Amino acid sequence: MIRNYLKSIGASAMALSLLWAPSAMAEPGAWSDEPVRIVVTFPPGGASDLVARLLAQYLDTEFGQKAVVDNRPGAAGTVAADYVAQQDPDGTTLILANNAPYTIAPTRFKSIPYDPVNGATHVAYIGASAPGLFVQPSAGIKSLEDYITHVKDTPMTYGSSGVGSISHILGEAVDASLGVESIHVPYKGSSPAIQDFRAGVLESFYDLAVQNSDMIEDKEAVAIAIASSVRNPELPDVPTFKEQGYDIVVENWVGLSGPAGIDPATVSKINETVLAVFANPEVQDRLTELGITHRAMDSQGYTDFVANQIEVWAPLIIATGIAE
């Protein structure tokens, strides 16, 4: 990976000018002679970074489009989103977009230095993973119904991966929808929460469901429900909130976006190429392992999706109490 990185730096240094011609027909393929930078809002490691690296790898090997991953973590993803918004809209700087800077930040922060919808070109949606609710096996809770009966009497503590994280937002959504008040215990990421859950001090937690399939198999945790619109093929036995009559869909989406004003021909070229990468069965297998369900969307569909998500999430974010 380092060698690729160095190679692409070398390539960019040697590229004297930007030589590309927009093709009328969008066919998968390289869209720039320069290496494309995929900015990631998280430090190296973690699912988002892995998706970006997977994409970069297949763009190069399948379509000859050099790509490098550029990690710019900080301030809930807004540092990266702001940085990308200020780059030239030539398709060489893209961001692995997600909830944090585009869905949550607009409601959470008083002001953000970029416009999440019109200040960006949303090029290609990639997919989403959904969190679920897990309880201690010793509590004797087997279903959402059991859970409701239990928490109506005695509020439960639940762990999340942080204030304002997707697992916290889901917790608030469930509370609001069931009309209960649980005790939120925030952690720094999901693994310390799971550690406390396993130590028996935490009664329940919310976390991306597929990542905890081992605990479900080992009967260390009972998965009550998942917050996706349909069941996850990796966890066929875990029901959705939706199918049990509670319209709670809170998904962690990822997509590829760029600065505002990327030429439409380039946008469709990138969109087609990215879709072709994610149509590859090997890539799909990797996504499934990460618990991400892929869906194809064109640029317009993805832009509408982002705008819609901001609205859907706004009341949930306000309910978490993190909005400034």
156 lies in the site for other proteins, by CB under 8 A: no
Q: How far is the CB of 253 from other proteins (least distance, A)?
A: 20
The binding track of 175-204 with respect to other proteins, each residue x by CB under 8 A or -, is --------xxxxxxx-xx--xx-xxxxx--
133 versus 322: smaller Cβ distance to other proteins: 322
Does 79 engage in binding with other proteins (CB under 8 A)?
A: yes
Question: Binding residue for other proteins (CB under 8 A) from 10, 44, 261, 264?
Answer: 44
Stretch that binds other proteins, among 67-75, 127-135, 238-246, 288-296 (CB under 8 A): 67-75
Region near other proteins per CB under 8 A, out of 44-52, 121-129, 245-253, 271-279: 44-52
Interacting residues with other proteins between 206 and 235 (CB under 8 A): none
| 164 counts as binding other proteins under rule CB under 8 A | yes
Pairing of strands 222-226, 131-135: antiparallel
**Counting contacts by CB under 8 A, is residue 9 touching other proteins?**
no
Which residues are at the interface with other proteins (CB under 8 A)? Answer: 1-2, 43-46, 70-76, 78-79, 113, 157, 162-164, 183-189, 191-192, 195-196, 198-202, 320-322, 324
